[in-house]
Chain A
Amino acid sequence: MAENTVVQDAKAVKSEPLFGKKEKKLLLDPLNDNNPITVQVLGICSALAVTSLVYPSLVISVAVVFVCGFSSLFTSLIRKNIPKQVRMIVQLVIIATLVTIVELTLKRYNFTVYKQLTVYIGLIITNCIVMGRLEAFAMANKPWRSFLDGIGNGLGYGVILIGIAIIRELFGKGTLFAGSPAEWKIIGPTADYMINTLADGSWFGWYANNNLMVLPAAAMFIIGVFIWIQRSYYPKLVDIS
């Protein structure tokens, strides 16, 4: 049966372009019109938990793009062989395998980043976006399109995650990319920062980091504001969810 799938796809490639309009839509739709966080409101839990710093959010986003893309690809490849009764367990095994690979790869090649992210890497397994895409798309579509759909949704998730993290880290801590090899110290009370709030004649003497921003509640507000802005620009999204 697996051979059948491959043969069908070969035909599909001949008759349709490898990267046509439909493919482009699959990849780019989740970035705005069908964003997993702001439109489908999935994956909120991790968006609250990991976004206090930009760098971990970035690594998690890359990992989610990888897991989401390849789990869609593999699920789609064996979609006709998966017994319907146990399909969710099968999807979960595929996701968990990929997440374990991500975890081992980080341990092997970048142990410091692994140590920063420990718990969050494992949490990708429970990210509803990944399984949501497998159920909703990969089980019913061909491998290449499923792969693009997975990548697109991973990117849509990552864009929002990094957006939230930039706001939270900048106003909560006065830095960007803290913990990474290239940390930017933007605003703070010592000479290490680009804007030194305590320097003589500084205009920013009143400035203090906002402690609310480091709490998960801040992410909730920021996601709310993102949704508000997005729906003001695109009124067609208002009645979707």
Chain B
Amino acid sequence: MHSTSYIVRFVVIMTALVAFFLALLSTGWKDQIELNEAIFNKRAILSAVSDYLGDQDPKEMSDAEVIGIFDSKVDQIALDMSGTPLEAEDIIASGYKGGRAEDIDMAKEKKKDEADRILPLYVFNSDKGKIYIVSVRGNGLWDEIWGSIALDGKLNVVGATFDHKGETPGLGAEIKDNPAFPNSFKGKKIYNDDGDFVSVTVVKGKAGKNNDYAVDGLTGATVTAVGVDEMIRRGIKYYEPYLQKAIAQ
């Protein structure tokens, strides 16, 4: 049996060594990891407008190409909940050091009161006019789900991408893994003929071919599909004040 003082010394020294080594590794790689994360997010945003990128597929672009296209063609705007664009100082005041819309962490914003949230909006300047890419976030079955929805100048959906933290592979994870699901949002409308906001409904089962306001659900992933439906309905609505002003111009 070892003495208590030996145990204390052993544990303290071991923990210190391990902590030091991991901290070293983590700080040493921090910049590259943050860059990877930013590229990953930019690639996802570009995937929402893949129809406007010619024959380039965002999934196969190199990291440099992703950054190049994003920096040259995408304007980023941060909005408050009333639809007013924010200055860099306002974004920094909200807790994001970089001061750009892309620094906004939707997961943190989701935890704030609705009135205090700030929203990132990406405007893609395509050959056919401005495409507004809104970021949405909600809850799936196991954990959070999020996505980007691209809207054209008439506020019709022209593209979507989704991602998730822990949905079941083969079931809920199909929102990301099966390209047919995000693609089914293309061409859908979020305003009815009277101009009321109706969003795109994810129906359980088949939506029917001529339904402009609904897409097919996912077999075996009802809760995730309902989560996507709610996320879009609430998420796009947040951007409504700004988008209505922007397209009226």
Q: Footprint of B on A, CB under 8 Å? A: 50, 52-53, 56, 81-86, 89-90, 93, 97, 100-101, 104, 107-108, 111-112, 115, 118-119, 168, 172-173, 178-179, 211, 214-215
Contacts and interface: CB of A to CB of B under 8 A. Distances in A.
A90 B33 CA distance: 29
Interface stretch (B79-87, B94-102, B169-177, B209-217): B169-177
A178 B177 contact: yes
Given A85-B7, A107-B33, A53 B21 contact: no
A119 B14 CA distance: 26
A108 B33 contact: yes
A214 B219 CA distance: 11
B220 A211 contact: yes
Given A108-B32, A119-B165, A172-B170, A100 B40 contact: no
A83 B169 contact: no
B10 A104 contact: no
7 contacts: A83-B10, A86-B10, A97-B22, A101-B22, A104-B25, A108-B33, A214-B171
Interface residues of B, number: 30
A23 B3 CA distance: 36
A93 B2 contact: no
Contacts of A111: 33, 36-37, 39-40
B166 interface: yes
Interface in B156-194: 163, 165-166, 168-171, 177
A93 B14 CA distance: 9
A53 B169 contact: yes
A110 B220 CA distance: 30
Nearest to A96: B18
Contact of B18 (A82, A93, A168, A172): A93
Contacts of A178: 177
A31 B39 CA distance: 40
Contacts of A85: 1-2, 7
A83 B33 contact: no
Given A83-B2, A93-B15, A108-B29, A211 B219 contact: yes
A171 to B, nearest CB: 11
A50 B170 CA distance: 11
Interface in B97-124: none
Contact of B25 (A90, A101, A214, A215): A101
Interface in B4-26: 6-7, 10-11, 14-15, 18, 21-22, 25-26
Contacts of B37: 111
B10 A81 contact: yes
B169 A56 contact: yes
Nearest to B169: A52
Contacts of B10: 81-83, 86, 90
Nearest to A85: B7
A52 B2 CA distance: 47
Nearest to B1: A84
Contacts of B22: 97, 100-101
Given A81-B10, A93-B14, A214 B220 contact: yes
B182 to A, nearest CB: 15
A100 to B, nearest CB: 6
Contacts of B14: 90, 93
A107 B36 contact: yes
B208 to A, nearest CB: 19
A84 B33 CA distance: 38
B6 A83 contact: yes
B18 A97 contact: yes
B2 A84 contact: yes
Nearest to A93: B18
B169 A104 contact: no
